Amino acid sequence: MQATTPVPADDSSDGPAKVGRAEAARWSGALDLLKLVRTQPGITRAEAARAMQVGSGTATEISARLRALDLIAERPAPPSGRGRPTTSLHAHPQGPLAAVVDLRYADWRVAVVDLEGALHDTATGRHVSKRPERVFADIRAAVQAMADRHGGRVRAVSVSATGTVRRNGIVQSSVLGWRDVEVDPLLPGVPQALGNDATLSGLAEARSAHPDKCVLYITIEVGIGGIFVDQGRAVTGATGAAGEFGHVQFGDPAVPCPCGARGCWDVAVDGRAVARLLGEPEPENPRAYLIAALVDPDSRAAVNECAAVLGRGTAGLVNALDPAVVSLGGLAPELRRAAPEAFEAAYMEGLMGFRRDDPPELLPSVLGPDAALLGAAEAAFDMILTEHGIAAWIEERTD
């Protein structure tokens, strides 16, 4: 669908300057409405008007403009008592998409995601080789195929990686054995974001389940990671490498970590830690090993020790960061459930005294296995839902 951007008539005595300000304000309102649909899919137009603090006529005009540009779709909303009928707002079926990538220990996933956060067209692949050039060649081919299928609707690419991310590269991934890997554009000409998997998972968790709160997110997969999210903004530090909680020295100082340090939390709570405590060799798949150990009676003592280390380290981060909520993702809730007494005792003993009367809530993540992809989608739409991003979409639609 092609459309033109309407320009208001100059009916003011202030002339073009006032019209320009009015037009800018209207497009600011358009971005606000798109962000509302992003965070609250299916919000009614009446609810959106109240949230934006604009009149119903303004909300109707803005939604009509966005509908004409294939940015949102409207559907009749169910009746809700007296008053005029309204509509609910959704992603347009021909609207902008993001391509998202989850690069993991043994495999990868790619998908496209729409404004509402729905994942579509998912593809997966296992690492035939862990050489970075081979891994990214396979991912690049999958992303390009998706972009071809969706006819120019892919407006950003976002990559979640299991490793320490700094600026545009993966500076270290102990589980993949990588150092200083630059991530070239997977889709030339399209903006690209790169983030640590735990960082992005935590960002999605905080925004979806705990908006406007300070959230400490901790997840266990192969190793442990997380992020502190301050009212919807991930605190990633000066170069983007913050949140490497796994490499805080909450573990045994005698145990070396593949990162080059000793005593890392990363190797004190996952399947590698359980195997070491049982006197067994390091497992090929630490994640699967931990899952099996959680229900194995012969592994109970080792699981209790790992749960206690998880609780003690969580308390240390709570003392340092002062979150309102602690969200546990990946296998962290499972480890806590498998050894609740060991976890709770270590957690409470590790808290500063004044925190014990009112500790932050400890909650399992609500996002499940798609957390990293959904976090990558958050980073992608942060690029798409800007004045520049929407202007580029409009320009293509009005050529």
Which tokens go with 117? 């956060």
DSSP structure string for 206-234 = HHHHSTTSEEEEEEEESEEEEEEEETTEE
Predicted confidence (pLDDT) per residue in 135-146, tens digit: 999 999 999 999
Report the candidate in 195, 228, 235 with the shortest Cα–Cα distance to residue 327. 228
Please compute the mean of the pLDDT values over residues 307-321 and round it to a whole number. 98
Answer whether 162's CB lies under 8 Å from 147's CB: no
Is the distance from CB of 331 to CB of 290 less than 8 angstroms?
yes
Query: What pLDDT is recorded for position 28?
Result: 72
pLDDT digits (tens, 9 = 90+) for 233-263: 999 888 888 899 999 999 999 999 988 899 9
CB 305 within 8 A of CB 343: no
Domains and CATH numbers, the chain: 16-91 (1.10.10.10), 97-200+372-398 (3.30.420.40), 210-367 (3.30.420.40)
User: 321 versus 105: which is more confidently predicted?
Assistant: 321
- The pair of structure tokens assigned to 118 is 């729905």
pLDDT score, position 259: 87
At 56-86, the pLDDT tens digits run: 899 999 999 999 999 999 998 776 656 566 7
Q: What is the dihedral of CA 234, 235, 241, 244, to 10 degrees?
A: -90
Residue type, 232: G
374 CA to centre of own chain? 5
pLDDT tens for each residue of 160-191: 999 999 878 999 998 899 999 999 999 999 99
